[in-house]
Structure 1
Amino acid sequence: MHDPARPEDQFSDSPNHMSGAAPTVNPATLKAEAAAVTTSETMEGYLLDRRVRYRQFTQGYRTGIEPVLMAAFVPAQPGQSVLEAGCGAGAGLLCLTSRCQDVRGVGLEADGATAQLAMQNMRDNDCATRVTILHGSIPDVPPALRQLTPGDNGRFHHAMANPPWHPADHTGASDARRRLAMTMPEGGWEEWITTLARWVLPGGSLTLALPASVVDRACEALRHSGFGSLTLLPLWPKQGRAAKIVLLRAIQGGRGMFSLLPGLVLHRDEGGYTAQSEAILREANALS
């Protein structure tokens, strides 16, 4: 049985591979198809070298290393709050709250069954009093989110998202839940950024895991939404390989210059993970 303690084994350096184009899909249709899925069998594994128990569906979308790395790049401090859009079964929030145990959070998940599973994962890891999972999606954030914000300001210190990577006209996966998790609505990454910007406090951060091919559009959308002090961290599959996935972080109201970090090399040439990757994926270190 595949052990989700090693979701990194599912990492591909070709996230943008598509099987072709098709007519644009309706997000409501994707949600309805996912809701009609009756398969609920799950498998249990671990994250962060067994610090976190993690259950996910045996069929459909499977967690990779992106949410683990993304959570490590969020500059959260004790007592702060975080919102994750498209949280899936909760891997990112679980990793973040494991590393910074005084953080409170809310996860938005478009698929109802996956949202329920994420909440069960929070309970299994004694996080249910600090993290709430809400059935909802971008850009139509449910009104209930306003009541779940931790402060009177109605916003969060940090937001993060590992948005769907495939455009709305790709042919898609055969599994309905996987197709919902991987298909970006017509508004694209720009719409996710614009929506999340309204939920981040001044001085707060927005962290994204994105295909490298959309970095220019994402940076433009961030600046149009009032973010600055952009920091880009490439994820190199191996030394000398082009980065297909990047982490991008920005500060609401930030005025700092754009910063390109050296990046993280994930795999050694001879196989296995680099020491830097192991420190994040197994030892729960932050990506500074």
Structure 2
Amino acid sequence: MVKPGAPDAQAEAASGALQDETMDGHLLGGRVSYRQFTQGYRTGIEPVLLAAFVPARPGESIFEAGCGAGAGLLCLSARLPAIRGVGLEADAATARLARRNLEENGVCGRVTVLDGRIPSIPPALRQLAPGANGRFHHAMANPPWHPADHTGAQDDRRRLAMTMPEGGWHDWIDTLAQWVLPGGSISLALPASVVDLACERLRVCGFGSLILYPLWPKRGRASKIVLLRAVFQGRGYFRLLPGLVLHEDDGGYTPACEAVLRHASPLP
């Protein structure tokens, strides 16, 4: 039995394992301290861009499904310090790392990470949601892109982060839709190849006022990744925005992309 006030041995072991497996880094030009695993899945720029796409205002709340080590929630909190949020993460070690990142950035009191995987939601989420009927102002997700039967990454953590559950897109969108207040939004980072399916499902779930924001790898190149946003009970027309060119011809980021990635600007 652990004596009162003594550190939990299992927690200490988990903390030590995280220390051994991770490396220090930062986001938003150093505004955010960000630790991630040295092996397996590594964070790309998608969660940073997705966080800049969410139309949140100070004091509102956000739910992120598949939050990983917390990059999206941390970037959103840096841009809007008064935001409140909850992240859901399927991998227990990654969820622990996300909590550590939140703690190191001083946002633990406003942002929480729960263990869980779409479509199953832990009961604790309802109590953590600050909105009416246990819902949030906004939801966001950068879902896995590979089908459930793919034979990709050998690393278990990377495979989990990249592989869709059996229910695919429908499960993710259906689940997120249940947690958004009327007038609130869902923001998704998706492969361009599934935009039609995602738009259709969002409308089935009662969302409208869809906005599509392409991410162009370079000028003149086809978009492989897009950002898609919809409003619960929204009645506006579908809008296709100019989007963002990510890279110059020499491979460096464009000034507009740098403004988002380094200076915490919202997407233009």
TM superposition score normalised by structure 2: 0.92
Note if contact 2:131-2:181 (Cα within 8 Å) is conserved in structure 1. no
The letter of the residue matching 2:202 is L
Partner of 2:42: 62
Counterpart for residue 172 of structure 2: 192
Alignment of 1:18-37 (within 5 A): none
Aligned counterpart for 2:60 among listed residues 80, 98, 118 = 80
Q: Which residue of 2 aligns with 1:104?
A: 84
- Secondary structure of the equivalent of 1:153? helix
Please state if 1:209 is matched with 2:189.
Answer: yes
CA distance in 1, matches of 2:267, 2:230: 15
2:155 paired residue among 166, 175, 182: 175
CA contact (8 A) 2:129 2:136 kept: yes
Letter in 1 for 2:204: H
Greater RCO between the two (CA within 8 Å, min separation 6)? Answer: 1
**Distance in 2, Cα, partners of 1:106 & 1:38:** 21
Aligned residue pair count: 253
One-letter amino acid of the counterpart of residue 244, structure 2: L
Q: Give a deviation string over 1:170-217, Cα, whole Å, max 9, x none.
A: 102010000000000111112100110000000000000000000000
Per the alignment, residue 159 of structure 1 pairs with 139
Structure 1 residue 116 corresponds to structure 2 residue 116: no
The SS at the match of 1:145 is: helix
Residue 126 of structure 2 is aligned with which of 133, 138, 146?
146
2:18, 2:181 → 1: CA distance?
Answer: 39
Write the distance in 2 (CA, Å) between the matches of 1:101 and 1:161: 20
What is the rounded CA distance, in whole Å, between the counterparts of 1:87 and 1:38 in structure 2?
A: 17
Which secondary structure state, in structure 2, belongs to the residue aligned with residue 157 of structure 1?
strand
The one of 12, 15, 23 aligned to 1:43: 23
Q: Please name the residue that 1:224 is paired with.
A: 204
Deviation at 1:103, TM superposition (A): 0.3
Q: Deviations over 1:51-82 (max 9, x none)?
A: 00000111111000000000000000000000
Q: Secondary structure at the match of 1:267?
A: coil
User: Post-superposition shift, 1:137?
Assistant: 1.1
Contact 1:229–1:250 at 8 Å: present in 2 too? Answer: yes
Cα distance, 1:144 vs structure 2: 1.0
Q: Which runs of 4+ in 1 moved over 2 A?
A: 37-40
CA distance in 1, matches of 2:152, 2:233: 37
Contact 2:216 2:245 in 1 (8 A): yes
* Deviation for aligned residue 1:38: 9.4
Q: Counterpart of 1:272 in structure 2: which amino acid?
A: G
Paired residues of 2:70 and 2:102 also in contact (CA < 8 A): yes
CA contact (8 A) 2:202 2:230 kept: yes
**Offset of residue 39 of structure 1:** 9.7
Please give the alpha-carbon distance, in whole angstroms, between the structure 2 residues aligned to 1:59 and 1:214.
29
Deviations along 1:6-55, one digit per CA (max 9) or x if unpaired, are: xxxxxxxxxxxxxxxxxxxxxxxxxxxxxxx9995100100000000000
Structure 2 residues without counterparts, runs of 5 or longer: 1-16
Structure 1 CA distance, aligned partners of 2:195 and 2:132?
Answer: 33
- Letter matched to residue 159 of structure 1: A
User: 1:151 deviation in Å?
Assistant: 3.0
- Structure 2 equivalent of residue 10 of structure 1: none
| Residue segments in structure 1 that go unaligned for 5+ positions in a row | 1-36
Secondary structure of residue in 2 paired with 1:238: coil
